Structure 1
Amino acid sequence: MNKSELIDAMAASADIPKAAAGKALDGMVEALTQALKNGDTVTLVGFGSFYVGERAERTGRNPKTGETITIPAAKSPKFRAGKTLKDAL
């Protein structure tokens, strides 16, 4: 499912215009992104939690030359599914 299909499904489910569903989806994504940038966890009860995971600095190898390189530490968004979502699948 892509974004436009999700907007169509939201509009049909909530019985609202597609434009309003699109604005709602964009607003949710923006709020979720801002919360994660601030280091917060976003929990949707029954669906799951979005949080920021941290990866430590590590060494890697350039596959072409075999040279050892240092891969810097990084933060990445992660999702942990809730029980209701897991049970639905």
Structure 2
Amino acid sequence: MSKSLTKAELINELASRAGTEKKAATAIIEALSGLIHDQVAAGGAVTIPEVGKIYCRERSARTVRNPSTGEAIEKDADRAVKMTFAKMIKDKVNA
């Protein structure tokens, strides 16, 4: 199993593969993450081709249980960020 990339390693790898400078790669990553944050927070979705779709899902109010005490607690409706991965990634992982 390979390790996860740190932000610095991601920037280095992106700059290397794109044949650009690290400053440009950093700007791209920051712009992309800002775009994703803004769209998802507004209730929209972002699809990154060959990677997947990041979106916000509404969850209704529900009853949950405290695992340590078993007490039933009413949880208010909220929103959750979800990601669906592209078939290409799923196929590559399971190959």
- TM-score bucket (shorter structure): 0.7 to 0.9
1:46 offset after TM fit, Å? 2.0
What do the CA deviations read for 1:31-59 (whole angstroms, capped 9, x no partner)?
Answer: 01111122112112222111111222112
Cα 1:66–1:79 shift into 2, 3 Å: closer
What CA distance in whole angstroms lies between the structure 2 residues aligned with 1:56 and 1:47?
28
Task: Give the match for residue 68 of structure 1.
Answer: 72
Report SS of the residue matched to 1:79: strand
RMSD: 1.6
- 2:48 is equivalent to residue 38 of structure 1: no
Identity across matched positions, percent: 34
Give the TM-score normalised by structure 1.
Answer: 0.85
Residue identity in the other structure for 2:23: A
SS at match of 1:50: strand
Please, which of 80, 86, 94 is the counterpart of residue 82 of structure 1?
Answer: 86
Residue of structure 2 in register with 1:12 after alignment: 16
Q: How far apart are residue 64 of structure 1 and its match?
A: 5.1
Q: Which range moves more in the overlay, 55-64 or 67-76? A: 55-64
Q: Normalising by structure 2, what TM-score?
A: 0.80
SS of match in other structure, 2:88: helix
Give, as a single letter, the amino acid of the residue that structure 2 aligns with 1:51. Y
User: How far is 1:65 from its partner?
Assistant: 5.0
